[in-house]
Amino acid sequence: MKLYLPLALVAAVAVAQDFDAQAEAIVAKMTPSQWIGQMAQANIGVILGSDGQLSVNAVTQCAKAGVGSFLNGAMPAAKWRAMITQIQAIYKANNAPPALYGLDSVHGANYVNDAILSPQQINKGATFNAKIVQDSAFITARDTSAGGVNWVFAPGLDVTNHKRWSRVYETFGEDPYLASELGIAAVNGIQSVPGVAAAVKHFIGYGATSSGDDRAPAYLDDYQLLNYHAPPFIAAIQSANALSVMASYVSVNGVPMVANSRLTNDLLRSDIGFNGLLLTDWEDIYNLNYVHKLVSNNQDAVAMSMSKSSVDMSMIPNDLSFIGYAQNLLNAGTIAASRYRASAKRIIKMKLQLGLFETPVPGANNVNLVGGASDRQASLELARESIVLLKNKDRVLPIRSNASVFVTGPAHDNIGYLCGGWTWEWQGVSGNAKFPGSQSVLSAFQSLVAANGGKVTSLQGVDINGGTTDSLADAKAKAGAADYTVIVVGETPYAEMVGNVPDAALPAGQLQYIRDIASTGTKVILVLVEGRPRLLNGVADVVHAVIDAMLPCHMGGQAIAEIILGLTNPSGRLSMTYPKDQTKDNMVTPYFQRKNGVCVLTGAACPAEWEFGTGLSYTTFSYTNFALSGNQLNTSAESLTASVVVTNTGTMAGKEAVLLFLSQGARTSGTPETKMLKKFTKVSLSPGQSTTVTFSIGFNDFAIYSGGIGSGLLKSAEAGAYYVGVKPETVCDANTIGPLCQSFNYGAVAATIPLSLFAKTTGKIVGATDWDTFMYAPPTGATPVNQQLDSE
């Protein structure tokens, strides 16, 4: 049997740091069987004995088979480190390349049991603060590497569509630009830790579930894929050099991702230019047999995936069967050795990029940093900036710190509920025991109010499913006796398919409990602890204040109490629309819908409880002197600057997320969106303080991906008027030019085009069922200006 000689090879070529050449040199010394082994990823159970301890024999067999990677597990950092060290030592003893080890560290190092967890990703989207997201991602990777783990399966770059989807909380929200910018920040944070790679996921269209159920198929045309779902991946790969990508579970237009040549080859490899490692999700190659029924056995599933996609590594995960199937296909001549070689090279290349041949167990200096005071502070700051104040009737908030407060509801004393899924366990946990040193909402109020001479009473009232746990009469009596009542409602933790629900509303028992308590006349502050926007069915109208805490996790109880008491000024904004009912149009329509969409033409059909970007503060901010540096761009190389003076006109220091949107009046190639977020930043201002915020606007900001997949990410922008508005609530078009809305022209100004000049083509080019639009032949003078761009 041919042996690996990786260490000697790396030593010989390390100076050059040409990872392609180094990987080529290593792969050239390997056999086809060894290439196949590198493509296998096994679950931790494969290498554990019946006693739950690492099995030396099992690891040795994996090393001899050349298994490239392992995943999963939950333990303290020191125990992780001891296990990974032993694995890598066995691999070295068997002359095998070091193993990759991956974890779903999606909100902090949530499988390193002594880590402090950050809020979930939906909270990070609500901060509109790229720096705080990057800092959090760095801590995540640092704590993960403290255990010797070198691969972080994050961030999630899915652009969420259906509000009922159970993975909303694993996204940055519904906006592609926000996901792109925060995705860059997260990848940079993760990969700034030596020896750690990010795996951006889930490529592509996973967030466009057609039914709202997890793993339901997506139906997307090229326009939607390229302009809504691809930008975060383009940004993470081209701007942040994400080293790996995880493929989506779903089929897009009837073709599962792990067998989708058009999306994994034409789009990912060719158009986007990704030459890194592409990993499947759990058991997903075999799902071609189990779920999609495209083949009748697992060997044929491997054959289909290998022949049609550019997948490099199979998350098998519970055995090593992939290796046998792939070897059989090689022996039969069904799959060429070159296919396996190409994937093995990409895998070896990432191991070289991580420095695993020299340092197979990264993070030696990070062990003592896990769970430190600075991590608690960082998690607290992120929670503070993410929580969104949605309603504040009669400025009931902030409340007096010496008031009497009744704290109630199913999540009032449960940190596990504040954290959601992927918290110590796949489906999360309940209770406070696994969060030593942290506070629930109740305990945070008890410490903060008691310190100021106030009084706190409590009662759960109902459970998370809406069932009665205590006497309603007792709860109403406590509410009636209190100055304020804080009701903390929400969802039980869940992950993936387990979180599928048929009804988007909060459980009826929770909603009725809110109404019952509100009927006492107490001032009710409703706190929503949820991973997606659960419908409120009118209860928002009967309470004085609404706070969307989402899933702030470890330090969320303290952050919630601080905001209600005015110790922290809220600054979060919704990163997705909060619907008011669950008609299909309302549940799947983003804020940037097409101008001919049903929710525009018949707006009453899609009532929003709160719009994208909603977020109140205890102070006020004025926007003045909004201006563009010019009103004409003639070529794609030119740019202009938008500037606005933001002033804190209130009496309390605060942070303001400044959002800028672009729109187009008309577009001959297809109906334009109502508006799209194109720039944002966050400023911190003391009372009376002003700052000038500036944004650069160029071709890349207003152009669209107009070519089909496989065309090399061709972007174009039509000549004509474009509108630039600041603040989410600003309506900006030709009729509203004013203090918060300006316009510029690009290219030759087109004359108004009579409807009679439109020539409909034979094919639809954009849209789900409700967004059908058609290609129009542009008149003379309105030809789109095309520009090939290297990055999004």
CB count in 10 Å sphere of residue 734: 11
- Indicate the number of domains in the chain: 3
| C-alpha span between 443 and 432 (Å, rounded) | 10
Question: Is the domain of 495 the same as that of 629?
Answer: no
Mean pLDDT to the nearest integer, 137-154: 99
| End position of a domain, from candidates 518, 547, 577 | 577
Give me the pLDDT at residue 104, please.
99
Which residues pair with residue 627 across a beta bridge?
643
**pLDDT tens column, 119-142:** 999 999 999 999 999 999 999 999
Q: Are residues 442 and 449 in contact, defined by beta-carbon separation less than 8 angstroms?
A: no
Q: Indicate the pTM of the whole model.
A: 0.93
- Domain span holding position 418: 387-577
- Note whether 403 and 504 are same-domain residues: yes
Q: Is residue 782 part of a domain?
A: no
Mean pLDDT, rounded, for 96-113: 99
| Residue 17's pLDDT band (cuts 50, 70, 90) | confident
pLDDT digits (tens, 9 = 90+) for 559-584: 999 999 999 999 999 999 999 999 98
CATH of the domain at 471: 3.40.50.1700
Q: Return the half-sphere exposure (C-beta side, CA atoms, 13 A cut-off) of residue 741.
A: 17
609 falls within a domain: no
Mean per-residue pLDDT, 421-425: 99
Predicted confidence band at 603 (pLDDT cuts at 50, 70, 90)?
low
Q: Tell me the CATH number at 63.
A: 3.20.20.300
Give yes or no: residues 132 and 213 share one domain: yes
Residue 790 lies in a domain: no
Same domain, 471 and 347: no
Residues 334 and 404 in one domain: no
Q: Please report the DSSP string for 127-195 in residue order.
A: HT-HHHHHHHHHHHHHHHHHTT--EE---B------TT-TTGGGSS-S-HHHHHHHHHHHHHHHHTSTT
Average pLDDT, integer, range 455-476: 98
Model confidence over 245-271: pLDDT tens digits? Answer: 999 999 999 999 999 999 999 999 999
Identify the pLDDT of residue 454: 93
Mean pLDDT of the chain: 93
User: Are 303 and 397 within one domain?
Assistant: no
Separation of alpha carbons 232 and 179, rounded Å: 6
- Mean pLDDT over 216-241 rounds to 98
Q: Are 565 and 628 in a shared domain?
A: no
Residue 637 belongs to a domain: yes
pLDDT of 363 over the 70 cut: yes
| Residue indicated by tokens 């009662």 | 459
Strands 690-698 and 704-705: unpaired
Task: Please identify which of the residues 222, 281, 284, 312 carries the catalytic annotation.
Answer: 281
> Span 380-407, mean pLDDT?
98
Q: What is the pLDDT of residue 432?
A: 98
Is 641 within 8 Å of 708 (Cβ atoms)?
no
Q: What is the pLDDT of residue 468?
A: 97
φ and ψ at 120, to 5 degrees?
A: -65, 170
Q: Is 143 a catalytic residue?
A: no
Q: Is the pLDDT of residue 4 over 60?
A: no
Summarize the confidence of residues 274-291 as an average pLDDT: 99
Confidence at 590, pLDDT banded by 50, 70, 90? very high
End-of-domain residue from the set 716, 731, 746 = 746
Grade residue 766 by pLDDT with cuts at 50, 70 and 90: very low
Phi, psi (rounded to 5 degrees) for 558: -65, -45
What's the CA gap between 326 and 324, in Å, rounded? 5
Same domain, 518 and 667: no
Query: How far apart are alpha carbons 639 and 428 in whole angstroms?
Result: 47
Over residues 45-71, the mean pLDDT reads 98
Confidence of residue 752 (pLDDT cuts 50, 70, 90): very low
Indicate if 241 and 295 belong to the same structural domain.
Answer: yes
Using one digit for the tens of pLDDT, what is the confidence trace for 306-338?
A: 999 999 999 999 999 999 999 999 999 999 999
Cis peptide before 217 (omega within 30 of 0): no
Confidence label for 452 from pLDDT (cuts 50, 70 and 90): confident
CATH number at residue 742: 2.60.40.10
pLDDT band per the 50, 70, 90 thresholds, residue 605: confident
Domain membership of residue 326 (yes or no) is yes
Question: Is 381 part of a structural domain of the chain?
Answer: no
Q: Are residues 45 and 173 in the same domain?
A: yes
Under the banding of pLDDT at 50, 70 and 90, the label for residue 606 is confident
Q: Say if 756 falls within a structural domain.
A: no
Q: Which of 537, 479, 460 is nearest to 506 (CA)?
A: 537
Contact 417, 549 (CB under 8 A): no
Residues 292, 392 within the same domain: no
Q: Is residue 347 part of a domain?
A: yes
Q: What is the pLDDT of residue 768?
A: 31
Structural contact between residues 91 and 63, judged by C-beta atoms closer than 8 angstroms: yes
> Looking at the structure, do residues 626 and 689 belong to the same domain, yes or no?
yes
